[in-house]
Amino acid sequence: MRLGAFTIFALVLCGLSAAGCGAKLPDEGPVVVVQGRLTSAGQPLTVKGREIGLGFVEVRFCKCQGEGKPIAANDTFPTQADASGNFKVLGRFGRGIPPGKYRIAVRQWDPYPQSDTLGGKFDDQHSPILREVAGSESMEIDLSKP
């Protein structure tokens, strides 16, 4: 049986593709899956048009150093809170985020991206919410008492 050049090329390409399927994710050391609930005065934040993608509540965990100052943009882990205020932070590879101290930023995009109805009060630089992430835990965040 004689194989043409195209057939051989296709077989080699498939073999190379299959070899990449078992690649390991980078080892970032220990990670923690953080989940919790975000509220204000005990109630979830409401966003008009959430169900059609016109708004959402963004929760960002910004890794801190020393006095609560963010380390770098690549040490920020975003997620969204659902209509009940529940969120889950899975990190870059879906396994979690490194333990440590985080500034938690919150933006209520209503509508996205024109208006943060929280007025930047809880953005990456101004949020008073600092939390230690140590283990896979549930976190309650109430914006009325950060």
**Which class would CATH give 34-142?**
mainly beta
Q: pLDDT category, 70, cuts 50, 70, 90?
A: low
Give the residue-averaged pLDDT of 19-27: 49
Whether the CB-CB separation of 76 and 60 falls below 8 Å is answered with yes
Quickly state the pLDDT bin for 10 (edges 50, 70, 90): very low
pLDDT, position 112: 83
Q: Is the pLDDT at 44 greater than 70, yes or no? A: yes
Percent of the chain with pLDDT over 90: 59
- Predicted confidence at residue 29, as pLDDT, reads 86
Per-residue HEC secondary structure of the chain comes to CCCCHHHHHHHHHHHHHHHHCCCCCCCCCCCECEEEEEEECCECCCCCCHHHCCCEEEEEEEEEECCCEECCHHHEEEEEECCCCEEEECCCCCCCECCEEEEEEEEEECCCCCCECCCCCCCCCCCCCEEEECCCCEEEEECCCC
Residues 104-120: tens digit of each pLDDT? 999 999 988 888 999 99
pLDDT band per the 50, 70, 90 thresholds, residue 14: very low
What is the pLDDT averaged over residues 3-17? 45
CA dihedral sign of residues 127, 134, 145, 79:
positive
The structural domains of the chain, with segments of one domain joined by +, span: 34-142
What is the model's pTM?
0.77
| 109, 58 contact by CB (below 8 A) | yes
Confidence band, pLDDT 50/70/90 cuts, at residue 33: very high
Taking the C-alpha atoms of residue 6 and residue 70, their distance in angstroms, rounded to an integer, is 53
Return the pLDDT at 23: 43
The CA-CA-CA angle for residues 83, 101, 76, to 5°, reads 60
